[in-house]
């Protein structure tokens, strides 16, 4: 792995699309293609193993369209910074998706928590018991 656990994806596997950002802005915003769309194909990626691809497929199924993931950034006024931002987001997404699931170790309830549970059951029981009986 690389610095702070982010998986670097090769530039060659990314397709870029540029367009004008929507929303408010001055003269600059109307003439520059600062909004970037980064399209990355999971199947064509060479950096992931088959099992990792499977994990990504399962975990990012809601983001995948025809086996590709699209990340959009129009946060910054410069195309370069938006490209960086989109790339980082994609790498974060994919990196998070290939972390193997943690195995769950069974634990036993503590003595105190067992006691609390019993006490609550007793309270509840006596409350219900109090409901029956006549209203003399």
Is 33 inside any structural domain?
A: yes
- Of residues 75, 23, 66, the one with CA closest to residue 41: 66
Domains contained in the chain, number: 1
Regarding pTM above 0.85, the answer is no
* Predicted local distance difference test score (pLDDT) of residue 107: 92
pLDDT beyond 80 at 83: yes
Q: Name the pLDDT band for 114 (thresholds 50, 70, 90).
A: very high
What is the CATH number for 71? 3.30.160.20
Instruction: Phi first, then psi: give them for residue 39, nearest 5 degrees.
Output: -115, 125
Is 130 inside any structural domain?
A: no
Q: Which domain holds residue 35?
A: 3-96
Is 43 inside any structural domain?
A: yes
> What mean pLDDT do residues 96-102 have?
76
* Predicted local distance difference test score (pLDDT) of residue 118: 97
Is 57 inside any structural domain?
A: yes
Is 126 inside any structural domain?
A: no
């Amino acid at each position: 792995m690389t610095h702070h656990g982010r998986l670097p994806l090769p530039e060659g596997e990314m397709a870029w699309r540029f367009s004008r950002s929507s929303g408010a802005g001055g003269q600059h915003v109307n003439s520059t293609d600062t909004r970037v769309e980064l399209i990355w194909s999971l199947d064509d990626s060479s950096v992931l193993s088959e099992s990792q691809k499977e994990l990504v497929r399962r975990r990012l199924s809601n983001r995948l369209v025809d086996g590709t993931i699209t990340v959009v950034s129009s946060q910054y006024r410069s195309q370069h910074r938006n490209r960086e931002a989109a790339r980082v987001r994609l790498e974060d997404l994919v990196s998070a998706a290939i972390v193997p699931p943690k195995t769950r170790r069974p634990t036993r309830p503590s003595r105190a928590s067992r006691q609390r549970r019993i006490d609550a059951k007793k309270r509840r029981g006596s409350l219900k018991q109090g409901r029956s009986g006549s209203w003399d």
